[in-house]
Structure 1
Amino acid sequence: MKRVSVDIGGTFTDCFVVWGQQYIETKALTTHHNLAMGFNEALGKACSVLGLELEQILQSVDSVRYATTLGTNALIEHKGPKIGMLVTAGYEATVPLSRARGYGEGLDNLGQQDMPNAQRPEPLVEPHMIRGIRERLDFQGNLVMALDEDDVRLQLRELVDRGAQIIVVALVNAVVNPAHEQRIEEIVLEEYPSHLLGAIPVILSHQVAGRKGEYVRATSAIVDGYLHSTMYHALSALEQNLRAHKYDKPMLVIHNSGGMAQLNSTDALQTIHSGPVSGIGASEHLAMQASLGNVVATDMGGTSYDIGIVVEGGVKHYDFNPVIDRWLVSVPMVHLVTLGAGGGSIASYDRMYKTVKCGPESAGSDPGPACYDRGGLRPTVTDADLLLGYLDAANYAGGSIPLNPRRAKAAIEDAVCDELDCSVIEAAKLIREKVDDNMANGLFTELRARGYDPKDFTMLAYGGNGPLHCCGIAQNLNIDRILAPPLSSVFSAVGAGNMHQLHIHEQSLYMVLYDSNTRHIFDDYERFNAIVGELKEKGRQDLLRQGVPLEDIRHDLELDMRYGNQLVQTTAVIPNHEVHGPGDVLSIISQFSADYGKRFGEGSQAPEAGIRINTIRVATYARHETVQFEDIKPVPKPERTAPPAPSSHRTCHFVGHDGPFETPVWARKDLEPGIEIAGPAIVASEVTTFLVNPGWTFVTAKQGASWFLRNENPVTRH
């Protein structure tokens, strides 16, 4: 297998190259003005390892895959085109009103508890750019009022005259019958043909989101339209860069659904959070192969801290109505929580609480932390880590980014020491303690909100800063086992390389499986089978268009079901994709009942209220060869061996301990599997630093995996 996979983050561009049996991990700073430059630099480092030219690698690999947070950043920065929107007449206020509670979406728990003072987000589409057109279909898709095409042309021209750069169409009941939305697209192309300079993109809501719910479907289409140009130009530049270097295969883009597709089969909305989702995919793959049980995936990079949960058996959590920035959307996305905590998180003095505050603002890659010596003047977590002795100023990022301790010291003194009247080491400890507490609190809240005990989980620590901060985070949560997985610094890129091609299609409907009033069991088998068959065919055509052989295409069927008029829906995975009699219907009901009982407790089922299906969803996929992980469980204590002599010592300071520690330092490449090191200790590699806190033990495993185990050895200070 020969493959290149890339995770373009806010600070670093991670590159993972599989070249036969050789795995190569490299990093470069992200070049936001031209993503291809950062990609070429990262891949160029892999070329140096292999002794090959860029063109030689790109001509030989089976695929190049991209995961990126570009869409997320564009949404946060609020830099997008001017949107014009066409809706059914009478529904012009649906998006501005946002169900009268949209201003609470995307706020933290404290903000949602103070809704009267919550600040509404800046609209992505201005109210005067929303125009109603005369048309109407009922809830079954039947024609009530024909589309007034003259009205469409009039409203369209007015929107363009007002500066609309993209047109979003979101009509009532379009998911049931998309004929009017499709006709509007034809009218736009008639008025502004693609060969004209004034041609503008058209986003149809039923193509972006296939479920009912007018507001969330409209916001999904708006967010997709808002990101369309940014993603198109950025990803197209990456594809053109590949073409310029003799890569002739389709570029693949990771989706937040946990799959991937070619660029021509990707919506901008599907790229949101695709980088962190790739890490969760890699965590699932690793947990299943290594039989790790429950794992919580934590990815600490330069800008953010991403949390995902994979319970035993490799089951991921999905959000079917996730909130992206401040907008509720209607696309299935692997569930994750993102905190504004990373190596580049800016530290400052909190005047209200008279202590240190970290994040969510980040120094990013330009100018970066103060110690990067690139013009950054504000202190960051990386500056604190450097002054506490954890980082090697001369060999950070393999020596490609020399660090300047004087800059870090000056920045912390100006922002924190002068306010708190403390030493620079005390201030650095406060920064370290604060950011670790923030991440631990976010992780605890996520696990507890879903009914899990942190003690029952193994913590996966990856990303460039994950192994550097994991002990402090886990100690706050009473977690005793941390695994820094193989290739931990580029683990999300590894996940991108392991993704399968996947498309998810779904349809909202009202289908009663059991009517409690009439005691009637669903018997319209042809309708159910026809809908499933149509969704399968859409997915099949998606993959066939991308060159996937028909015999490699597989399907999974999921049903969103509920009892009566309950608001809570439960997703059931149905092994039998067709129904032909009462036995098949009862089998679906039985599966739903079992899943409901697991989620809410056995005995909570309420079939007497009736049972209905709200959404039918088909995931169509094709599997690819993946990176295989060997047995990476920790070596039993009696079989562990002592480490070789350390390569050096460094004076380090740890939170919770007054004096400094003379801390031994090892190079990760010099440690064979089965070696045990008692903390405090530092194990360094070219791409990350493993910090072993006092009271923890570091144990090496196969394939470069490393374990942190708590309270196995006493602490000694020198």
Structure 2
Amino acid sequence: MNRIAVDIGGTFTDCLVIHNSQIVQSKALTTHFNLALGFNEAVKNACETLNIAPDTLYRNVDSIRYATTLGTNAIIERTGPKMGLLVTHGFEATTAISRGRGYGEGLDLETVRDLTNADRPEALIPLSLVRGVNERMDASGHVIQAFDEDRLRHQLKDLMDEGIQVLVVCLAHATSNPAHELRVQEIVAEEYPSHLLGAIPVILSHQVSGRKGEYVRASSTIMDAYLHGIMYHAMADLEVNLGEQGYTKPMLLVHNTGGMAQLNSTDALQTVHSGPVAGIHASEHLSKTSELGNVIATDMGGTSFDIGLITEGGVKHYDFQPVIGRWLVTTPMVHLVTLGSGGGSIASYDPVYKAIKVGPKSAGSQPGPACYDRGGLNPTVTDADLLLGYLDVDNYASGKIPLRRVRSLMAMEDIADDMDIDEIEAAKLIKSTADRDMATGVQRELRTKGYLPQDFTMLAYGGNGPLHACGIARVAGIDKVLVPPYSSVFSAAGGASMSPLHFHEHTQMIPICNLRKIGTKPKKMVFWQDFDALNKIVEKLETRGRDELARQGIGADKARHRLEVDMRYGSQKMEAAVIVDKSRFEGIRDLLDLVGKLATNFEQRFGKGTPAPESGVWIVNFRVATFVDDDGVDMGNVIPPHKKIAAPKPVNMRTCHFVGTEGAVETPCFDGQALTPGTVIQGPAIINPGNTTYLVEPGWRMEAAANGAVWLMRNHGQG
């Protein structure tokens, strides 16, 4: 296995290289103006460790996997193109109305509590660029109003005169019959051939989402179209860059579904949050191989703090209608919660509440925290960590970024003056605020899903995860923290472990069982009998999955399928995803199995008595995951060995300050020798092997396991 995996974050570009059984991790600052530069620098740093030339590495690797925040940044910064939208006549206001709930989607909890003062998001396509097409399909895909092609040609001219750069098409019931959407695409090509207009993208809704529901299908297609040009050109430039380096194979892009694919099989929407999702994939893999039980995955980087949930057995959660930015979409996506807390998060004084506020604004990689001495003037979490004594000024990021303490002191002066405290106390307040905010996010994620924090192991990774793990876990009520192998580039390790995966969906309401009264006889359950109809839907979705893999040069013999259905009771609106144990429906016993799984799901989520089979049970959506089995990165057994060994001699002592502890504390500092499996170190202590910093706070202890894995345990009755 020879491969390169790169995760480009808001502050750092993380790289994991596997070459002839050697695994090397490296970092470089993200170059937002040209992502290829940071990419090349991260790979170059890894090559220096391997002692090989970059062109030799590029020729020998079997794949390069790439995750990016480019799409996320484009949504935040509103840097997408001018777009036009074609909908069925009468549906022009669908996106503007947004089912009446557009005010609340994507807002934080405080704002949701006061929706009367909330604002709708600024539309990606204003109503002035929406046109209603005279056509209509019914829910079964039958034409009930013929297509008015002459009117469409005039509408296209209007939109082109407005200067649109992308055309979005979302016609009613196109998932049942896409003929009219496809005809729109043909007419655009007829009226505006590429040699006259240029290759203006035409994004069809039925190709982006297989689900019914006009608003969510429209918002998904609009979001995909908004990111299409940005992602296509940036990824194409990166492929050109790789070609110049000597790599000739197609680049693989990490998807937010938990899989990956080549550029020709990737929708732009699938790349949003792909980096953090790769970390959750690695967490799932580690949870299975080491039997960790319930795991809450936390990724604290330079810009954000991402949370993912993996329950016992290594099963990650999916959102099948996630919110991206302020818009509800239908792309299946690994469930993820993102907070604006990271090492580069800017701290400020809130005069109204007379308290410290941390984030969501970030210093990013340019200029970065004040201590980077690159022009940053605002205090950040990293500046606070430096002033508290946790960071080594000469060995931060493997010595590639020298830190200047005096810059952090200068940045901290305004907050200290506003609160009439010294800079060290201000730094302690910043750390405690950041830890509390992240812990609150962890608690909310667990408790809203019915779990108790004390029943979970917290995985702490990302560049700042091991540094803040004890503080977050202490507030969240978690006693065990695992810092996994390759923790500083753990999301890149997840990308290296991924395999091709595609979801395809088909929406169709099918009553699989109903309670009926026949004549004078008592009521009885009547089951769906047309199993061929069900299986034809599944076969169609499997074929689409195999075709997707074939486009990437993967044979049908390697394709694996997993069938899932979304189900609900006739009297209820809530839906539940149920995994089907087999790929085909053979009889009523299979339907009974689904009914039982739905009941179990509802009782676990909503309590006993919530299942309502007497009102009928419906399948509302079919979903097939098509994937290829692949070996992940071997992280070994991360359970600490029974045989314990004494801590090595500290390399030095450093004056540190800890939240909840008065005054300065002389703290032992260790190098990579402290990570020898079996080593136990009581806090307070600092371990810096070069690529990250582990902070063992008072009341906690560190136990080292294999492959650089570290456990942070709360001592009973302390911390």
What is the SS of the residue equivalent to 2:661? Answer: coil
1:450 correspondence with 2:456:
no
What is the SS of the residue equivalent to 1:13? Answer: strand
**Aligned residue runs from structure 1 range 313-392, under 5 A:** 313-392=313-392
CA distance in 1, matches of 2:647, 2:448: 41
Deviation at 1:33, TM superposition (A): 1.0
Deviations 1:465-509 (A, max 9, x none): 000000001011221110000000000000001111000000111
1:520 to 526, 529, 534: 526
CA distance in 2, matches of 1:375, 1:80: 29
2:695 to 691, 696, 701: 691
Deviation at 1:629, TM superposition (A): 2.3
Alignment check: 8 A CA contact 1:502 1:619 kept? yes
CA distance in 1, matches of 2:387, 2:635: 36
Counterpart of 1:362, as a letter, is S
Alignment check: 8 A CA contact 2:137 2:145 kept? yes
Find the counterpart in structure 2 of residue 433 from structure 1. Answer: 432
1:596 to 592, 602, 607: 602
1:507 correspondence with 2:539:
no
Find the counterpart in structure 2 of residue 32 from structure 1. Answer: 32
CA distance in 2, matches of 1:565, 1:669: 62
Find the counterpart in structure 1 of residue 704 from structure 2. Answer: 700
What is the SS of the residue equivalent to 1:4? Answer: strand
Find the counterpart in structure 1 of residue 715 from structure 2. Answer: 711
CA distance in 2, matches of 1:137, 1:362: 48
The more displaced of 143-152 and 286-295 is 143-152
Deviation at 1:663, TM superposition (A): 0.7
CA distance in 2, matches of 1:592, 1:378: 52
1:616 correspondence with 2:622:
yes
Find the counterpart in structure 1 of residue 492 from structure 2. Answer: 493
Find the counterpart in structure 1 of residue 662 from structure 2. Answer: 658
CA distance in 2, matches of 1:678, 1:583: 57
Find the counterpart in structure 1 of residue 522 from structure 2. Answer: none
Alignment check: 8 A CA contact 2:15 2:43 kept? yes
Find the counterpart in structure 1 of residue 472 from structure 2. Answer: 473
Alignment check: 8 A CA contact 2:253 2:261 kept? yes
What is the SS of the residue equivalent to 1:349? Answer: strand
Alignment check: 8 A CA contact 1:505 1:619 kept? yes
Deviation at 1:712, TM superposition (A): 5.8
The more displaced of 670-679 and 555-564 is 670-679
Find the counterpart in structure 2 of residue 97 from structure 1. Answer: 97
Alignment check: 8 A CA contact 1:698 1:709 kept? yes
Deviations 1:488-545 (A, max 9, x none): 0000000001111000000111111012246431112221111110000000110011
1:176 correspondence with 2:163:
no
Counterpart of 1:218, as a letter, is A
Find the counterpart in structure 2 of residue 236 from structure 1. Answer: 236
CA distance in 2, matches of 1:676, 1:352: 45
Alignment check: 8 A CA contact 2:648 2:673 kept? no
Deviation at 1:586, TM superposition (A): 2.7
Counterpart of 2:551, as a letter, is R
**Aligned residue runs from structure 1 range 560-579, under 5 A:** 560-579=566-585
CA 1:316/1:590 → structure 2, altered by over 3 Å: closer, same or farther?
Answer: same
What is the SS of the residue equivalent to 1:306? Answer: strand
Alignment check: 8 A CA contact 1:211 1:615 kept? yes
Find the counterpart in structure 2 of residue 677 from structure 1. Answer: 681
CA distance in 1, matches of 2:436, 2:324: 24
Deviation at 1:207, TM superposition (A): 1.0
Deviation at 1:223, TM superposition (A): 0.6
CA distance in 2, matches of 1:195, 1:7: 37
1:19 correspondence with 2:19:
yes
Find the counterpart in structure 2 of residue 118 from structure 1. Answer: 118
Deviations 1:5-45 (A, max 9, x none): 01110110000001122110000001111111000000001
CA distance in 1, matches of 2:570, 2:68: 41
CA distance in 2, matches of 1:103, 1:714: 44
CA distance in 2, matches of 1:565, 1:218: 27
Alignment check: 8 A CA contact 2:389 2:657 kept? yes
CA distance in 2, matches of 1:541, 1:327: 30
What is the SS of the residue equivalent to 1:396? Answer: coil
Deviation at 1:713, TM superposition (A): 10
Alignment check: 8 A CA contact 1:290 1:629 kept? no
Alignment check: 8 A CA contact 2:385 2:431 kept? yes
Could you tell me which runs of 5 or more consecutive residues in structure 2 were left unpaired when the two chains were aligned: 518-524
Find the counterpart in structure 1 of residue 520 from structure 2. Answer: none
CA distance in 1, matches of 2:130, 2:357: 41
What is the SS of the residue equivalent to 1:399? Answer: coil
1:534 correspondence with 2:540:
yes
Find the counterpart in structure 2 of residue 626 from structure 1. Answer: 632
Counterpart of 2:23, as a letter, is Y
Find the counterpart in structure 2 of residue 311 from structure 1. Answer: 311
1:587 correspondence with 2:586:
no
CA distance in 2, matches of 1:80, 1:309: 31
Find the counterpart in structure 2 of residue 418 from structure 1. Answer: 417
Alignment check: 8 A CA contact 2:647 2:674 kept? no
Give the share of equivalent positions with the same residue, in percent: 56
Alignment check: 8 A CA contact 2:675 2:710 kept? no
Alignment check: 8 A CA contact 2:385 2:391 kept? yes
Counterpart of 2:690, as a letter, is E
CA distance in 1, matches of 2:637, 2:49: 26
The two structures have a TM-score, normalised by structure 1, of 0.97
Alignment check: 8 A CA contact 2:640 2:677 kept? no
Deviation at 1:592, TM superposition (A): 2.9
CA distance in 2, matches of 1:517, 1:317: 36
What is the SS of the residue equivalent to 1:625? Answer: coil
CA distance in 2, matches of 1:455, 1:99: 38
CA distance in 2, matches of 1:591, 1:478: 32
Alignment check: 8 A CA contact 2:209 2:330 kept? yes
CA distance in 1, matches of 2:593, 2:356: 57
Deviation at 1:549, TM superposition (A): 2.2
Deviations 1:106-141 (A, max 9, x none): 111221111111011111111100111100001111
CA distance in 2, matches of 1:20, 1:292: 29
Alignment check: 8 A CA contact 1:678 1:713 kept? no
Alignment check: 8 A CA contact 2:449 2:605 kept? no
CA distance in 2, matches of 1:619, 1:352: 50
CA distance in 1, matches of 2:129, 2:179: 23
**Aligned residue runs from structure 1 range 79-98, under 5 A:** 79-98=79-98
Alignment check: 8 A CA contact 1:501 1:621 kept? yes
CA distance in 2, matches of 1:701, 1:512: 52
1:273 correspondence with 2:247:
no
CA 1:583/1:713 → structure 2, altered by over 3 Å: closer, same or farther?
Answer: closer
Alignment check: 8 A CA contact 1:697 1:713 kept? no
Alignment check: 8 A CA contact 1:697 1:712 kept? no
Counterpart of 1:679, as a letter, is G
Deviation at 1:197, TM superposition (A): 4.6
The more displaced of 54-63 and 302-311 is 54-63
Alignment check: 8 A CA contact 1:339 1:442 kept? yes
CA distance in 2, matches of 1:481, 1:426: 28
What is the SS of the residue equivalent to 1:547? Answer: coil
Deviation at 1:602, TM superposition (A): 4.8
CA 1:378/1:602 → structure 2, altered by over 3 Å: closer, same or farther?
Answer: same
**Aligned residue runs from structure 1 range 110-259, under 5 A:** 110-259=110-259
CA distance in 2, matches of 1:329, 1:524: 32
Counterpart of 1:537, as a letter, is T
What is the SS of the residue equivalent to 1:281? Answer: helix
What is the SS of the residue equivalent to 1:630? Answer: coil
What is the SS of the residue equivalent to 1:348? Answer: strand
Could you tell me which runs of 5 or more consecutive residues in structure 1 were left unpaired when the two chains were aligned: none
CA distance in 1, matches of 2:27, 2:673: 18
